[in-house]
Amino acid sequence: MVASDDEVVLYWRPMCTYCMKLRLSLLFTRLRYRNVNIWKDPKAAAFVRSVANGFETVPTVTVADRPMVNPTRRQLLDAVKRYAPHLLGRADR
């Protein structure tokens, strides 16, 4: 699974409390993003390891092809505002 330079991709896995927290906090935004379960996608898991020093650290998020390992909601939205503002709803800009 290859991320596009025109999207936000959230790599996650089941039972990860950090993933649940980030995903829940994003429900209250208008951010358009794609969820990828690394336990179901070996290529996605390999990508996460490649940007997280060999670990499957999730959530890992790409914003316009720029990886972020375990970002906060604020860090993620700031990156989107900077690199892909068209993916935010009007209220989140």
What predicted TM-score, i.e. pTM, was given to this entire model? 0.88
Contacts of residue 75, defined as CB under 8 A and 6 or more positions apart, other chains included, come to 68
pLDDT at residue 91 in the model: 47
**51-81-32-86 Cα dihedral, nearest 10 degrees:** -120
**Per-domain residue ranges for the chain?**
8-85
Average pLDDT value over all residues in the chain: 90
Average pLDDT of the segment spanning 58-83: 96
Architecture of the domain spanning 8-85: 3-Layer(aba) Sandwich (3.40)
